């Protein structure tokens, strides 16, 4: 009987340790870019780095949602994404239409008002995601995560070249 208790305790310890190992750790938000850029090519490099960071954060959030993890640790990432959303329009200065394998479509510059509106929608959705994360409401966080994703998709459909 004592041996059975030891085995059960060991199994429980392994299970708890395994759950702790499965926790998704949010990436540390990087420094935000500092527009305006005098060199449009620098703007491309900075925006690509910021979009890559955003994608990493968003991917980690998805893993945490799928794992039913508490969303509170992701509030700083969501706040960073909201701040990034405020900067997006300034990250596409004239002259940054080409170079560094940019996927930006000419519509960004020909439909500046529409592009700015989509960036504002992303900003608002990400700000709400940050607020929801602080409540630690898993269902609300997952729902708002979807809303943020929809704003990303809307902008990509209109303003980003498709990759093969």
40: confidence class by pLDDT, cuts 50, 70, 90: very high
Residue 127 · residue 148 · CB < 8 Å? no
Res 7: pLDDT: 46
pLDDT band for position 5 (cuts 50, 70, 90): low
CA distance 65 to 143: 10
| Cβ 159 vs Cβ 105: under 8 Å | yes
Is 89 in a helix, a strand, or coil?
A: helix
Alpha-carbon gap, residue 162 to 151, rounded angstroms: 17
Cα(59)–Cα(26) distance, integer angstroms: 10
pLDDT of residue 30: 95
- For the chain, domains (ranges, CATH) are 27-159 (1.20.120.10)
Question: How far is it, in rounded angstroms, from Cα 82 to Cα 125?
Answer: 8
Q: What is the pLDDT of residue 162?
A: 87
In which band, very low, low, confident or very high, does the pLDDT at 10 lie, cut at 50, 70 and 90? very low
Residue-wise pLDDT tens digits, 84-106: 999 999 999 999 999 999 999 99
Higher confidence at residue 10 or residue 69?
69
In the structure, what pLDDT confidence band is assigned to residue 158 with cuts at 50, 70 and 90?
very high
């Amino acid at each position: 009987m004592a041996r059975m208790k030891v085995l059960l305790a060991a199994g429980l310890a392994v299970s708890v340790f395994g759950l702790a190992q499965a926790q998704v750790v949010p990436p540390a938000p990087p420094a935000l870019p500092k527009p305006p850029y005098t060199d449009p090519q620098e703007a491309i490099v900075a925006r690509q780095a910021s979009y890559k960071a955003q994608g990493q954060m968003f991917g980690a959030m998805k893993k945490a949602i799928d794992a039913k993890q508490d969303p509170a640790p992701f509030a700083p990432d969501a706040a960073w994404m909201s701040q990034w959303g405020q900067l997006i329009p300034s990250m596409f200065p004239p002259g940054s239409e080409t170079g560094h394998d940019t996927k930006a479509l000419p519509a960004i510059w020909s439909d500046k008002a529409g592009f700015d509106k989509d960036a504002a929608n992303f900003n608002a959705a990400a700000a709400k995601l940050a607020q929801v994360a602080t409540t630690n409401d898993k269902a609300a966080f997952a729902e708002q995560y979807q809303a943020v994703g929809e704003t990303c998709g809307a902008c990509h459909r209109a303003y980003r070249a498709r990759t093969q």
